[in-house]
A and B are shown apart, each in its own frame.
Chain A
Amino acid sequence: NAGVTQTPKFQVLKTGQSMTLQCAQDMNHNSMYWYRQDPGMGLRLIYYSASEGTTDKGEVPNGYNVSRLNKREFSLRLESAAPSQTSVYFCASSRSLGETQYFGPGTRLLVL
């Protein structure tokens, strides 16, 4: 089992460009999450999906969109990247909300 996988591992964008971060889990989990992590700050939730077919905003959703493509996959899209979105992005999944989360390896995004 691969657990939670994320692509890409690293990306450089110019301001205004768009991109999609991909996340997939093979643990048959219902809930999936996207976080960002910035120096000196804790993990902050961008969006989450309690179950297939549902998505909800987290603490910092502005500038992002998500798609729960199926039970396995949850993607994060930046429509028009800004330097403030430079961060490390983590995808996670859990059997259900509030339970132990399993994290992907992260994506380092640099927006110039």
Chain B
Amino acid sequence: KNEVEQSPQNLTAQEGEFITINCSYSVGISALHWLQQHPGGGIVSLFMLSSGKKKHGRLIATINIQEKHSSLHITASHPRDSAVYICAVPYSTGNQFYFGTGTSLTVIP
């Protein structure tokens, strides 16, 4: 049983397209995290959110606590957005995370 499910697993888009990546979770949470892993392997935290919506540049993250669902949107996608996007939620104890297996995004020029 996976506590965190992401969809799609793989996504290919044309440059400029609007992209949505979904994350569903089965546990009660205090906050949800979105991470980005670049092709070179480096991992960067994008967002931590517990309600509503957060925006950073062309990236928007939303969360619906009642539905246990979060989405990561990328507007006007660019090849440099090509990466694996990972959703993570903390254990109820807060000491560890459940990680999704990631969504691999490729943006074609």
Contact = CB atoms under 8 A, between A and B. Distances in A.
A103 B94 contact: no
Interface string B41-54: 11111001000000
Nearest to A105: B42
Contacts of A102: 45
A100 to B, nearest CB: 5
Interface residues of B, number: 21
Interface in B2-26: 4
A88 interface: yes
B96 A48 contact: yes
Given A88-B41, A99-B48, A103-B42, A59 B33 contact: no
B102 A42 contact: yes
Contacts of A98: 30-31, 90, 94-95
B94 A90 contact: no
Interface string A19-62: 00000000000000000000011111100101000001011000
A48 B30 CA distance: 20
A103 B100 contact: no
Contact of A40 (B4, B94, B96, B101): B101
B47 to A, nearest CB: 9
Closest 10 pairs between A and B when the two form their complex, measured CB to CB: A42-B99, A98-B94, A103-B43, A43-B99, A98-B90, A42-B101, A100-B45, A97-B95, A97-B94, A100-B48
Interface of A: 40-45, 48, 50, 56, 58-59, 88, 90, 92, 97-103, 105-106
